[in-house]
């Protein structure tokens, strides 16, 4: 039976709570950073394929999967928190 992905890539369910998956969430952060720096969806898909992380079993990374991550409201809100956290940490050190 084909397994469907119900949670956004980068997250997992633990005791009824959605929590970051350590490996996947760092990949999500990298996808956002590289996209902001001008990487194309196709380039990001190739990078993810080379990383060895699976979006789902027996699937080859493609532009649609990357676009889904970039459009995911849950991922975007978490990414904004990462950005704000990094921004404030950087300015507090100055």
- In the chain, what are the domain boundaries? 11-93
Predicted pLDDT of residue 80: 54
pLDDT tens, 5-61?
577 888 888 888 878 888 888 898 899 889 989 999 999 999 999 999 998 878 899
- Residue 1 reports pLDDT greater than 60: no
Sequence-distant (6+) residues with CB within 8 A of 41 are 35, 63, 66, 67, 70
Q: Are 44 and 36 contacting, i.e. CB atoms less than 8 angstroms apart? A: no
Q: Distance between CA 84 and CA 44 in Å, rounded?
A: 23
pLDDT the model gives residue 39: 95
């Amino acid at each position: 039976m084909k397994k469907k992905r119900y949670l956004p890539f980068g997250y997992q369910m633990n005791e009824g709570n959605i929590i970051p998956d350590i490996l996947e969430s760092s990949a999500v952060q990298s996808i956002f950073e590289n996209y902001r720096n001008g990487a194309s969806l196709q380039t990001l898909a190739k990078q993810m394929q080379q990383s060895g992380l699976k979006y789902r079993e027996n699937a080859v990374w493609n532009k649609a999967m990357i676009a889904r991550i970039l459009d995911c409201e849950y991922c975007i809100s978490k990414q904004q928190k990462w950005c704000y956290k990094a921004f404030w940490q950087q300015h507090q050190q100055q």
